[in-house]
Amino acid sequence: MLVVEKLEKSFSGGDRPVPVLRGIDLTLDASRTLALTGESGSGKSTLLHLIAGLDAADGGRILIDGDDLAAMDDTRRAALRRGTVGVVFQQFNLIPSLTVAQNIAFQARLAGRNDRDWDARLTERLGLASHTHKYPEQLSGGQQQRVAIGRTLAARPKLVLADEPTGNLDEDTGEQVLDLMLELVAETGAALMMVTHSTRLAARMERRLHLERGEIRC
Ligand SMILES: Nc1ncnc2c1ncn2[C@@H]1O[C@H](COP(=O)(O)OP(=O)(O)OP(=O)(O)O)[C@@H](O)[C@H]1O
């Protein structure tokens, strides 16, 4: 599903570029789960952003479902972000002017999917059935994150990238949200790569990779 080879990325740091990712290799098969851990500043979010096609690498390559990200034009990359790859961020990034139901349906519509039964089932499974007409500001943090997960999974992505998806939640709520996310990705056959600072949450994933100063230390 995902192959990352010799990935490199630097950011400009005054007079010379500062390397942030130094030759990352990893693979993730369909239906598998992977935790990415590492100190603050080790490059976890940078790696996730590159895989999501939100930023371009300086070297190496990323294959998603066999397609090289760098070889895609902007339209194809945007389509990939809407359909094949789904991203869940720590900040829920919901659209404040849309209701829960509309937020959940939004991403799927962009991806050209309109499956009301699946949307309804997701809403039910995420415990949001009695909140569908509410707006994000009327929800708790845990509820908002569940909407964000629903919005991502409504498009039935093959690869879910989650950047500290429970980072804004208390431990119990975070655990419940992760349980749901794991159940739902298992149900849809999606692969899940999750950045987390929590060793407890990382232990719930099938594999763990540790980033240290831009390199993988298993
Ligand atoms: N757009 C950017 N421009 C310049 N430097 C950047 C940019 N994005 C990230 N960096 C730098 O790259 C390094 C890695 O950042 P990144 O956000 O990937 O780390 P992280 O492991 O996700 O950290 P955290 O756990 O704190 O979120 C940091 O030193 C950061 O300052």
**CATH number of the domain encompassing residue 158:** 3.40.50.300
pLDDT score at 174: 85
Q: Is the CB of 51 under 6 A from ligand 1?
A: no
Residue with tokens 């790696």: 47
Which amino acid makes up residue 21?
Answer: L
Tens-place pLDDT, residues 128-164: 999 999 999 999 999 999 999 999 999 999 999 999 9
Give the chain's domain count.
1
**CA 171/CA 27 separation, integer angstroms:** 29
The best mutation among 9, 22, 42 to test binding of ligand 1, ranked by most ligand atoms within 8 Å of the C-beta, falls on 42
For residue range 111-138, what is the model confidence (pLDDT) as tens digits?
888 888 999 988 998 899 999 999 999 9
- Give per-residue pLDDT as tens, 177-208: 899 889 989 999 999 999 999 888 999 999 99
For residue 30, what are the domain limits? Answer: 2-217
Ligand 1 atom with minimal separation from the 46 CA? 18
191-195 sheet: strands from edge to edge: 85-88, 159-163, 191-195, 33-38, 207-212, 215-217
Q: Which residues, 6+ apart, have CB-to-CB distance to 141 below 8 Å? A: 92, 168, 169, 173
